[in-house]
DNA sequence: CGAACTGTAATGAGGTTAGTTACAGTTCGA
DNA sequence: TCGAACTGTAACTAACCTCATTACAGTTCG
């Protein structure tokens, strides 16, 4: 089935915050764009806050803002903040040490899986929130011209 | 938490089959190496059979053998056979079309996520079952010399 | 004080995973 | 031709995760 959709939600929220510049948005406003729930948003944005990607201010008039420039936040930053642990699962329990393959395969697979995960993360690290914001701008501008 | 451990099990089983050359192994023998259950093995090897990676022969004396040369089977082949669907989950439901970001983010993310998944799959495609078998041989030989 | 926020616990429905039991179907050898 | 040794599957379980929701305590500001 794959991983959770938290990365998609996180990237969406970060792009939304970037879209509105320094303006702070409430979890309810972000939830509106996601057609989701403010509590869900606060949980995911909470992870982003713990990772140093956003700020939250409490109380009346509070909300969320980016803690860094959009071009200093990559998709991998968002991914790593909300998706803990490895992507590819290892053996559910250690294989048999009696078997030539069993006693060696875990260490060999670990290297392969880490390399594969790293390749994905590197690719995610090449796109920034500023890139996504720019593309949203471009698409919207083009639509505006056609109208 | 990540994906299922089926890829690890599948790669383990394929390496085991490669280790024993053309000899056919029963699901019980493979399960012994995995310290797991024959039914689980048959389910996962069944996917590998559907993907054309292994053969199964039924009845007494039956079992499993590789359907291709070990160097013609990559870790990605095993992965793709047992792990259906995308790795990175998309939005749980479509975002708001009222929002500039909401109505564009899905298409933008789709490209990024597909690229990222492809990067991982490409890396998995660079290692073959023959590579793993060779490394098992090498490790075992080195241990043998030290003794 | 009270409205408008964040932070977080608790809960529930639905789905997936890993594992198991059970059993039907197939093959081969004695 | 019977029975042992296999594969192929269905059905079931406990544990866990995800997404969503309700509820409420804490914070801030007018």
pLDDT at residue A117 is higher than 60: yes
Neighbouring CB atoms inside 10 A of B86's CB total 14
A28 interfaces chain B, CB cutoff of 8 Å: no
Is residue A63 within 8 Å of residue A24, measured between CB atoms?
yes
Per-residue pLDDT, A147: 67
Predicted pLDDT at B145: 86
Give me the pLDDT at residue A2, please.
Answer: 80
Chain A CB contacts of B89 under 8 Å are: 1-5, 7-8
pLDDT at res. B146: 77
- Residue B55's SS3 state is strand
pLDDT of B1? 54
Domains annotated on chain A, with CATH: 6-146 (1.10.10.10)
Instruction: Mark the nucleotides of strand C covered by protein, meaning any atom under 7 Å from a CB.
Output: 2-10, 15-22, 25-29
A64: nt with nearest C1' to CA? C6
Question: What would the DSSP string read from start to end of A8-77?
Answer: HHHHHHHHHHHHTTT--B-HHHHHHHHTS-HHHHHHHHHHHHHTTSEEEE-STT-EEEESS-GGG-BHHH
Q: In this structure, what are the phi and psi dihedrals at residue B89, rounded to the nearest 5 degrees?
A: -75, 140
Rounded Cα distance between A49 and A55, Å, is: 6
- Statement: residue A19 has pLDDT above 60: yes
Q: Is B57 helix (H, G, I), strand (E, B) or coil?
A: strand
The pLDDT of residue A1 is: 58
Chain-chain contact of B124 with A112 (C-beta, under 8 angstroms): yes
Cβ under 8 Å to B: A residues 48-107? 75, 79, 85-96, 99-102, 104-105
The per-residue b/e assignment along B35-70, b for 16 or more CB within 10 angstroms, e otherwise, is: bbeeebbbebbbbbbebebbbbeeeeeebbebbeeb
**CB–CB of B47/B82 below 8 Å?**
yes
- Give the number of beta-carbon pairs within 8 Å between A and B: 179
Q: Which tens digits make up the pLDDT trace of A56-103?
A: 999 999 999 999 999 999 999 999 999 999 999 999 999 999 999 999
pLDDT for B147: 67
Work out the percent of chain A whose per-residue pLDDT is above 70.
99
Ranges under pLDDT 70 in chain B: 1, 147
Give the closest of B105, B121, B132 to A15, CB-based: B105
Question: What is the predicted pLDDT for the residue at A64?
Answer: 98
């Amino acid at each position: 089935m794959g991983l959770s959709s938290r990365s998609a939600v996180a990237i969406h929220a970060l792009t939304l915050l970037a879209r509105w510049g320094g303006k702070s948005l409430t979890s309810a406003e972000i939830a509106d764009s996601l057609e989701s729930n403010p509590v869900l948003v606060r949980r995911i944005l909470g992870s982003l806050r713990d990772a140093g990607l956003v700020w939250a201010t409490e109380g009346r008039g509070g909300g969320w803002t980016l803690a860094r420039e959009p071009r200093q936040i990559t998709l991998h930053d968002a991914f790593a903040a909300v998706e803990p642990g490895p992507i590819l699962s290892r053996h559910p329990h250690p294989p048999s040490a009696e078997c030539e393959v069993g006693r060696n395969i875990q260490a060999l697979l670990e290297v392969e899986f880490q390399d594969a995960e790293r390749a994905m993360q590197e690719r995610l690290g090449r796109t920034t929130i500023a890139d996504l914001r720019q593309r949203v701008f471009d698409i919207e501008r083009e639509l505006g011209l056609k109208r």
